[in-house]
Each structure stands twice: as structure tokens, then as C-alpha cells.
Amino acid sequence: MFSDNEYKKTDWENYRALKKGEVIMDTDEVLHDKKGWKKTICAGGLAPDPQFTSHRMYRRLKTEQDKLEEDKVLLEIYMHGFNDELDGISNESNFSDLRLLRAYNLGREHAIMGDDIRSVDYLTNEEILDRIRNQKS
């Protein structure tokens, strides 16, 4: 594994950013000057607002509940894109998170393809999530 002196790479598939005010746990990690992630020494404190670049960013290993909530959001955004395309609403998405943008755009693409490519209509939620995560159309 990693020694205390080694930095870990960013891995948002398995970690989530701490929100402002969350209690920092001893298993959380902190980003050190964009070199990488290390275990925190500030356990018990409150995470600062990560939107300010002068603040440290903390992350935590995702739980199963975190993953389920993320899947729900991705599918909601996918359906939002799907319905926007069907309703003729112009692409007004403004997502800073690349995964959300991919979900929205994939929903729009699938709304267009659905009538011509029937297999798109029969995709399961898991297959849609897999395509969002792996950038497959």
C-alpha cells in the first residue's frame, strides 16, 4: 500500500469530496498542494468550503449509500436530457461536473436514437449508468 510519505492520485470513482461543515474523520484524506492525497491530521475539525481555492480539499471513501445516491442523480439528469430533447428545449445545461454533463447529453442522444435504434429503449438503468461512466453512446 502507500506509506505515509507517498501521495495518492485523485480517484473520484471511489471517493467523494467532503462538503462544507462535515466533520473530518481520521480516515479522510486531504489534498496537499495538488501533489496528491494524504491522510488528514485534522480529524474532528470541520471541512472548509471546497469551492474556495484557498481552502484545503478533503475527501472520503464512498459508502454504498453514497454510490446509490450518485446513481439516482445521474439517472435523473439523464432523464432531464432525454425529456428536454423530446420537448424541443435547447441544450441549456450548465454542469460543472463532467459526469452530470455526460448523463444529460447521453439522455438527449438516446431520445434521438430511440425510434431508430430499438435497443436503446431496452437499456436497463445499470446499462445506462455504465455508458455514462464509460462514455459509451
Count: domains in the chain: 2
Say whether both 43 and 71 belong to one domain.
no
State the pLDDT confidence band at 5, using cuts at 50, 70 and 90: low
Give me the mean pLDDT over the 11-38 stretch.
Answer: 86
pLDDT digits (tens, 9 = 90+) for 75-123: 999 999 999 999 998 876 778 778 899 999 999 999 998 778 878 888 9
pLDDT digits (tens, 9 = 90+) for 39-70: 888 899 999 887 777 778 889 988 889 889 99
Say whether both 81 and 107 belong to one domain.
yes
Say whether both 35 and 80 belong to one domain.
no
Distances from the Cα of 58 to the Cαs of 38, 52, 123, in angstroms? 10, 12, 36
The kind and range of the H/E element at 115 are none
Q: Kindly tell me if the per-residue pLDDT of 73 is higher than 70.
A: yes
Per-residue pLDDT, 2: 45
Say whether both 51 and 74 belong to one domain.
no
Question: 40: which 3 cell numbers?
Answer: 488528514
Residue 125, Cβ neighbours under 10 Å: how many? 12
Cα–Cα distance for residue pair 129/44, rounded to 1 Å: 35
Per-residue pLDDT, 137: 46
32 and 5 Cβ atoms separated by less than 8 Å: no
Say whether both 130 and 70 belong to one domain.
yes
Domain with 27, as residue range(s), is 1-62
Per-residue pLDDT, 1: 43
Phi, psi (deg, nearest 5) at residue 38: -135, 160
Per-residue pLDDT, 52: 77
Say whether both 70 and 129 belong to one domain.
yes
Per-residue pLDDT, 135: 73
Say whether both 71 and 128 belong to one domain.
yes
Give me the mean pLDDT over the 15-30 stretch.
Answer: 90
Per-residue pLDDT, 84: 93
Per-residue pLDDT, 92: 67
Say whether both 6 and 22 belong to one domain.
yes
Which residue, 62, 94, 109, sits at the end of a domain?
62
